[in-house]
A and B are shown apart, each in its own frame.
Chain A
Amino acid sequence: MIRDALKNEFQKIVGKDNVMTEAAELHAYSYDSAVLDQTQPAVVVRPENSESLGKVVKLCNENGLKLTVRGAGTNLSGGTIPHPGGVVCLTTALDKVLEINEEDLYAVVQPGVVTAKFAAQVAAKGLLYPPDPGSQAVSTLGGNVAENAGGLRALKYGVTKDYVMGVDFFDVNGELIRSGGKTVKCVTGYNLAGLMIASEGTLGVFENITLKLVPFPAAYKAMMAVFPDMMDASRAVAAIIANKIVPATLEFMDNFTIRTIENFRKAGLPVDAAAMLLIEVDGHQGQVEDDAAKVEAICKENKATSVRVAKDDAERNAVWQARRDALPALARVKPTTVLEDATVPRSKIPAMMQALDKIAKKYDLIIGTFGHAGDGNLHPTILTDKRDQKEWHRVEAAVDAIFDEALALGGTLSGEHGIGIAKAKYLKNEYGVGAINYSRRMKSVLDPNNILNPGKILGPLLA
């Protein structure tokens, strides 16, 4: 429970309507999209401007209140699950696009701007903001930066970090720290903006973000290639890159996922296929034609049984509908959906797929896998029912095994979902104790009271 005096202080800063302390309200902020235990905050505040945001941070620090900043709460690793009895600070009212600069190709946004809405505003001006996480219809840019979110276009265009030019953030004292800038080149001081990216709310609270924009591609072409064997699909992926073609997207789906989608949508997908690649090339018209023809040929050389090239926007949409259907279709099979993002060098995809197959058999679980073949970021999706305790223990063991395998193949714990609470325990397996200690020392200086999203990334020792 929060003391009345503190509640009053928060009310003075953000207004009465923006301070929530009722049990039901707190309960609604005790979770995010990760399948993890719920923990309740003591208070939820919703500042409507930067000034009050800074004051909230300062008040938390002065009173040693643990602070978790939350946008849409779509985090898949528990990064927005609050510290018990802490403060949740919502950014949903900080949702203004402050500037879209068409001459210098950047935009300045508040952290609570919804990614897809921003992308649409930018697109209306003929520009592209490439990072497109699966949750973009609701996820916020602040969260995207804090987690370094990826998406379907990462292969060619990179991830969120490749578009962050600057972050202005509040330190724990509520002081506004400016970093980065509006120039393409900027090497002034430490790369504090870089430090903020993927920091998961543990080092500062974003006030606004400057994002790089690029021209919208003039043309694009999508296609769907069907393979009788996963090795063939993987070889096709490698061959496409080796032929110096970088598609905007190069997505993968396994047989189980294909069958589940077909069952869901009845769109005529090849249910016998071992794997499917969904590919889109973009750029200038001529280049797109050339690249599409080459990709088609490469797929066929690698034993694709069919390659369907979209002739118009409707057909292109059909290709991407199949990809968009992957999660909804899988999610309906069983009540609980555990979506992981183990990532391996793309050449190791076949090995990872084989490992996933073994893990599924060993732990007697259903795992459907889809994801970003082009960048090696796979989404093995375990379909289960959390209420079945025996099975749930097997799920936990399988998740451990998935990360062990990804690391053994030279991969990483997280391609785009972040570490949060869920994967903090594996961190030393990837980077060793040195990196953790270095990070902890840094955090202890920047956040001496350890109020900023404690327990995330670095584990509970500091919590």
Chain B
Amino acid sequence: MADIKKLVSMLKELDDLLTGCMRCGMCQAQCPVFAQTGKETDVTRGKLALLSGLSDEILKDPEAVNEKLQRCLLCGTCEANCPSGVKVTDIFLRARAILSGYLGLPPSQRLVFRRLLTNPKLMNNLLSLGASLQGLFTKEADGVIGTSCARFNAPLIADRHFKKLASKPLHSVTPKKDTPPGKSGLRVAFFPGCVTDKVFPQVGQAVLKILEHHQVGVFMPPNQSCCGIPALSSGETEVFDKLVRQNLDLFATSKWDYLLTPCATCTATIAELWPKYYGDKMDGIRAANIADKVMDVSQFLHDVLKIPTKESASPAKVAYHDPCHLRNTLKITTQPRQVLAAGGKYTTAELPSGPSCCGSGGSFNLKHYKLSDVIGRKKAESIAATGAGVAATSCPACMLQLADMLSKTGHSIPVKHVVELYAETL
């Protein structure tokens, strides 16, 4: 293990960011994890205090601090509501990188990040093998939602009701696309993101259908890499850099006006994190340029294409869940609702509990499934309370969580992406 002095000196770089916290504790009102546990180490103020303690050498237990630091969904709700404007996500991502560099990631996790994530072809092959075998180990849980659960006792799956890997991922049906701008005069690059590609290919197809309908040219290169957020949030900055560079190279091979993704997390990562954390300073300008052009699909449809809204006499209610990365990071809340309404078939039913994190948080769901489960069940009850026949959101990761929770709580409410519902009205 490296010298603790070195750790302290690395953490000192966070000092300016950390002192901005005036310890008012207002983050307690926002934090979904604290709401469940009531423990100070689970809320932002506590985590910031732990990092300060470590950096001031009052506290000498980096393992414990790292463990507490992982108990965060990175939903950004605290940051969006922080009176002092503390850059919480920035601090946490940097601290995770420093601590995981110091403590080292578990070898299995490191292998996944370094060998698999950075090799899209290998990952695709491996996952399609998985897709063909998964039926042996799983059985149907809810036919309407389309979830499965473990057939045998499987610690990795636990009691999850999950969406299976798609038998035909998007990249196998539509490996690439390169069409000229139509009447819209626009051409967009399309980044479906891993979960869309491998679990919800129909979301990707919906986007392509919408773009074709509105006569928007599409550039979708094959062998796209992950946006990098799983690596970055685990502190694997080298892997993150590699993934960003692979994507930058890929999308630089053609000209386009906007980069669209149907994934709130990918959009937020490309918009905010690529330019901030991409380590290659020489090449940083490319990351900044792409960050300026990335858009959530609904944002593009509403703000750029200005799609018209069809009038409807009796639209069906859709319970809309605001993904944290759209709501907190990108401040996009109206556009998905407008797109839902635009088709003339649906109207948004607001959740009685208000917007809040669904509890997924990417790898948080893997590491702290029990907590993720409690938070998610509340979300499911809130969705059910709207009386809507369909739940929709703008993030495939949230879709996984909502499907799991609605299925487990016995609410047979299908979960759709906003663009799926809009596409069916075209």
A and B found bound together: yes
A72 with B25: CB separation less than 8 A: yes
Q: How many interface residues does chain A have, given as a range?
A: 35 or more
Minimum Cβ distance to chain A for residue B33 (Å): 13
Contacting residues, chain B, for A31 (C-beta < 8 A): 23, 49
Known: A22-B64, A23-B60, A23-B64. A32 touches B22 (CB 8 A): no
Q: Give the residue of B26, B50, B83 whose beta carbon is less than 8 angstroms from that of A28.
A: B50
In A62-98, the 8 Å CB interface with B consists of 72-74, 90, 92-93, 95
Cβ of A33 < 8 Å from any Cβ of B? yes
Which A residues lie within 8 Å of B39 (CB)? 20, 25, 28, 46, 90, 92
CB <8 Å contact, B23 and A32: yes
Given A24-B61, A24-B64, are A138 and B29 also a contact pair (CB < 8 Å)?
Answer: yes
Residues A27 and B58 in contact, CB atoms below 8 Å apart: yes
Flag whether A335 is at the interface (Cβ < 8 A).
yes
Task: Output the least CB separation between A69 and chain B (Å).
Answer: 14
Is there a chain B Cβ closer than 8 Å to A336's Cβ?
A: yes
Query: Which residues of chain A are near B29, meaning CB under 8 Å?
Result: 114, 116, 137-138
- Which parts of A318-361 form the interface with B (CB within 8 Å)? 327-328, 331-332, 335-337
Chain B: minimal CB distance from A198 (Å)? 21
Cβ–Cβ contact B84 & A328, under 8 A: yes
The smallest C-beta distance from A230 to any residue of chain B, in angstroms, reads: 26
Binary per-residue interface labels of chain A (156-183) against chain B in the complex, 1 for a CB within 8 Å, 0 otherwise: 0000000000000000000000000000
Interface membership of chain B positions 34-52, coded 1 if the CB is closer than 8 angstroms to chain A and 0 otherwise = 0000111100001001100
Chain B nearest Cβ from A271, distance in angstroms:
21
Write the A98-138 contact mask toward B (1 if CB under 8 angstroms, else 0): 00000000000000101010000000000000000001011
- A-facing residues in B59-75 (Cβ within 8 Å): 59-61, 64-65, 68
Q: Is the CB of B1 closer than 8 A to any CB of chain A?
A: no
- Please tell me if A38 contacts chain B, counting CB pairs below 8 Å: yes
Known: A138-B29, A331-B83. A46 touches B19 (CB 8 A): no
Q: Is B308 an interface residue (CB 8 A)?
A: no
A33 touches B59 (CB 8 A): no
Chain A minimum-CB-distance residue to B84: A331
The answer to whether A24 and B28 touch (CB under 8 A), given A331-B83, A335-B19, A335-B20, is: no
Q: Closest chain A residue to B23 by CB distance?
A: A33
Contact among A27, A73, A328, A387 for B83, CB-based, below 8 A: A328
A51: interface (CB < 8 Å): no
In the assembled complex, the Cα of A72 lies from the Cα of B25 at a distance in Å of 7
The answer to whether B40 touches A29, judged by C-beta atoms less than 8 angstroms apart, is yes
Chain A CB count within 10 A is highest, among B16, B25, B84, for: B25
Which residues of B have CB within 8 Å of A72? 25, 28
Q: How far is the CB of A37 from chain B (nearest CB, A)?
A: 11
A residues within 8 A CB of B61?
Answer: 22-24
Q: Which residues of B are found within 8 Å of A114, using beta-carbon distances?
A: 29
With A31-B49, A72-B25 already in contact, the answer to whether A24 and B84 are too (CB < 8 A) is: no
Please tell me if B156 contacts chain A, counting CB pairs below 8 Å: no
Min C-beta distance of B326 to chain A, whole Å: 23
- In the bound complex, residues from chain B placing their C-beta under 8 Å from that of A336 are 19, 22
Which B residues are CB-close (under 8 A) to A337? 22, 84
- Residue contact A135 to B26, C-beta cutoff 8 Å: yes
- The chain B residue sitting closest to A73, CB to CB, is B25
A137 vs B59: C-alpha distance in the bound complex, in angstroms? 30
In chain B, what residue has the closest Cβ to A40? B58
- Chain A residues whose C-beta falls within 8 Å of the C-beta of B41 in the assembled complex: 24-25, 28
Assess the B40–A28 pair: CB atoms within 8 A: yes
Q: Which of A24, A25, A72, A74 has the most CB of B within 10 A?
A: A24
Contact, CB under 8 Å: B50 / A27 = yes
Q: Does A385 contact B (CB under 8 A)?
A: yes
| Minimum CB–CB distance for A416 against chain B, Å | 15
Asked if B24 CB lies within 8 Å of chain A CBs, one says yes
Residue of A nearest to B16 (CB): A335
Residue of B nearest to A117 (CB): B29
> Does chain B have a CB within 8 A of A440?
no
Known: A33-B25, A46-B39, A137-B26. A27 touches B85 (CB 8 A): no
Let me know if B22 and A74 touch, CB within 8 A. Answer: no
Asked if A300 CB lies within 8 Å of chain B CBs, one says no
B87 shortest CB reach to chain A, Å = 11
B182 an interface residue at 8 Å Cβ cutoff?
no
Which residues of B358-408 are within 8 A (CB) of A? none
- Contact (Cβ within 8 A) B64 A138: no
**Pair A33/B22 contact, Cβ less than 8 Å:** yes
On whether the beta carbons of B49 and A386 are closer than 8 Å, the reply is no
Residue numbers in A under 8 Å from B64 (CB-CB): 22-25
CB-based contact B65/A93 at 8 Å: no
Q: Which of A383-408 contact B (CB under 8 A)?
A: 385-387
Min C-beta distance of A41 to chain B, whole Å: 12
Chain B contacts of A73 at CB under 8 A? Answer: 25, 40
Within A132-147, the residues touching B (CB, 8 Å) are 135, 137-138
Residues A28 and B46 in contact in the complex (CB < 8 Å), given A38-B58, A138-B28: yes
Closest to A76 in B: B24
B120 cross-chain contacts in A, Cβ below 8 A: none
Interface residues of B in 247-271 (CB under 8 A from A): none
Footprint of B on A, CB under 8 Å? Answer: 20, 22-25, 27-33, 35, 38, 46, 72-74, 90, 92-93, 95, 112, 114, 116, 135, 137-138, 327-328, 331-332, 335-337, 385-387
Which 4 pairs of residues, A with B, have the shortest CB-CB distance?
Answer: A92-B38, A24-B64, A328-B83, A28-B40
Q: What are 26 residue pairs bridging A and B, where the CB atoms are less than 8 Å apart in the complex?
A: A23-B64, A24-B68, A25-B39, A27-B49, A27-B50, A27-B59, A28-B39, A28-B40, A28-B49, A31-B49, A73-B25, A90-B38, A92-B39, A116-B29, A135-B25, A137-B29, A327-B83, A328-B83, A328-B84, A331-B24, A331-B85, A332-B20, A332-B85, A336-B22, A385-B19, A387-B19
Q: 6 additional contacts, CB 8 Å, given A20-B39, A112-B38?
A: A23-B64, A28-B46, A73-B25, A137-B29, A328-B85, A332-B85
